[in-house]
């Protein structure tokens, strides 16, 4: 797929500075790109490579000077890079049909142009939309629904009673619809509470490798449209996640918590159960969130505080030993001063 810089610029909302007739065939990093490849700089730390890159062109944001090679200038160079890469690597559905080694129950419904590969399993009553790919080792349980144009990578498990929207991408090993972790304390020990809810997942959702999303106890666990979830994330029963929210790897969200629209959660963060995270909240990596968070604010820390306050606190932490020493000295000097005064004043 060869393009002139002019063609490419038009497709990614950029303008060409330099020779717009240069032809390119793909994209590469600034250190490895060759003369028929386009690269980009979206992070200041890579600017230095502009002087040595062998790329055929570079996507740059406003104000970044570069005379050595043609520039594709656009408002957001990272978005320009994303659009260009999608042009060179478009998502194409390859309909391979239903493999004779796929285990499809006769009562399952399969849509048009399927790719149901050897070693996938579809249970009774499941409904698979059009142009869906079920890779080897994928399991879709009874009555579950997979929306049109969704792609399930190998060994994904979708248990019964789960609804997945359109154009979803589920990375390998993810588990959707496992039982929530619910027990009541009986005289003989923990009594399992049947988890009879399901999971409802919106359109254009991506779920990372080996991530786990539990089914609801009563009622469903709900993931909104365009939500993106990274690898090894745990989402407990009856959690509700608003549209456009982004959850980075190794985050855990405990039961019945509600996450707003457009929230961003940094990696390795733990969020307590039965709380509410407002729309547009940002939470830094490795935070611990014990209670509600207000919409639109930025939080960090264990326990999570507003980011500005947390920065002041965390800046103090390395000074704790010095603070402790200073307190001890103040005590000593104050006692000495008191004592000396008492004796001096009592002299009179």
Longest C-alpha distance within the chain, in Å?
Answer: 109
Q: Which is nearer to its own copies, 47 or 79 (CB)?
A: 79
Nearest distance in Å: CB 111, its own copies: 21
Identity of the residue, 142 or 148, whose beta carbon is nearer to its own copies in the bound complex: 142
CB neighbours of 89 closer than 8 A, spacing ≥ 6?
none
C-alpha separations of 233 from 73, 165, 168, 239 in Å: 37, 19, 17, 13
DSSP codes, 228-258: EE-TT-EE-TT-EE-TT-EE-TT-EE-TT-E
Total Cβ atoms within 10 A of residue 266: 19
Our CB check for its own copies shows the closer of 67 and 347 to be 347
Helix residue ranges per DSSP H, the chain: 5-11, 77-88, 307-316, 320-347
Rounded to a whole number of angstroms, the minimum distance from the CB of residue 317 to its own copies is: 6
Q: Which is nearer to its own copies, 20 or 219 (CB)?
A: 219
Cα–Cα distance list, 100 to 3, 97, 165 (Å)? 40, 9, 26
**Which residue's entry shows tokens 């060179």?**
88
237 noted as active-site residue: yes
Distance (Å, whole) CA 79 – CA 188: 58
d(CA 67, CA 141): 58
Identify the CA nearest to 242 among candidates 209, 271, 277.
277
Whichever of 95 and 190 has its CB closer to its own copies, that residue is 190
Q: Tell the smallest beta-carbon distance from residue 173 to its own copies (Å).
A: 5
Contact (CB, 8 A) for 52 and 33: no
Catalytic residue among 237, 244, 268, 276: 237
- Locate all alpha helices (DSSP H) within 66-130, ordered by sequence: 77-88
Alpha-carbon span 90 to 86, nearest angstrom? 5
- CB contact at 8 A, 161 and 143: yes
Closer residue to its own copies, CB minimum distance, 65 or 345? 345
| Smallest separation (angstroms) from its own copies to the CB of 267 | 5
- The CB-of-80 to its own copies minimum distance in angstroms stands at 8
Catalytic site positions: 237
């Amino acid at each position: 797929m060869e393009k002139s810089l002019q063609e490419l610029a038009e497709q990614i909302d950029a303008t060409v500075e330099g020779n717009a007739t240069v032809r390119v065939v793909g994209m590469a990093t600034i250190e490895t790109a060759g003369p028929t490849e386009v690269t980009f700089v979206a992070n200041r730390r890579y600017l230095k490579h502009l002087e040595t890159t062998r790329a055929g062109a570079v996507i740059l944001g406003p104000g970044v000077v570069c005379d050595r090679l043609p520039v594709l200038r656009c408002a957001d160079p990272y978005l320009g890079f994303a659009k260009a890469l999608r042009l060179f690597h478009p998502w194409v559905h390859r309909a391979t049909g239903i493999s004779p080694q796929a285990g499809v129950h006769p009562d399952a419904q399969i849509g048009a142009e399927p790719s149901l590969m050897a070693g996938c399993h579809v249970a009774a009553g499941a409904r698979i939309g059009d142009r869906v790919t079920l890779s080897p080792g994928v399991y879709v349980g009874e009555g579950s629904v997979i929306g049109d144009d969704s792609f399930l990578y190998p060994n994904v498990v979708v248990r019964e009673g789960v609804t997945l929207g359109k154009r979803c991408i589920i990375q390998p090993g993810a588990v959707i619809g496992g039982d929530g972790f619910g027990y009541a304390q009986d005289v003989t020990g923990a009594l399992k509470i049947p988890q009879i809810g399901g999971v409802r997942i919106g359109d254009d959702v991506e779920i990372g490798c080996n991530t786990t999303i539990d089914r609801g106890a009563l009622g469903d666990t709900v993931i909104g449209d365009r939500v993106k979830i990274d690898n090894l994330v745990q989402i407990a029963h009856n959690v509700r996640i608003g549209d456009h929210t982004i959850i980075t790897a190794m985050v855990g969200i405990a039961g019945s918590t509600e996450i707003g629209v457009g929230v961003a959660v940094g990696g390795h963060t733990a969020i307590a159960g039965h709380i509410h995270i407002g729309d547009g909240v940002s939470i830094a990596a490795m935070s611990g969130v014990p209670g509600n968070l207000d919409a639109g604010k930025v939080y960090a820390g264990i326990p999570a505080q507003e980011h500005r306050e947390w920065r002041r606190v965390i800046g103090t932490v390395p000074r704790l030993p010095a603070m402790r020493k200073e307190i001890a000295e103040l005590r000593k000097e104050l006692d000495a001063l008191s004592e000396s005064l008492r004796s001096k004043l009592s002299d009179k």
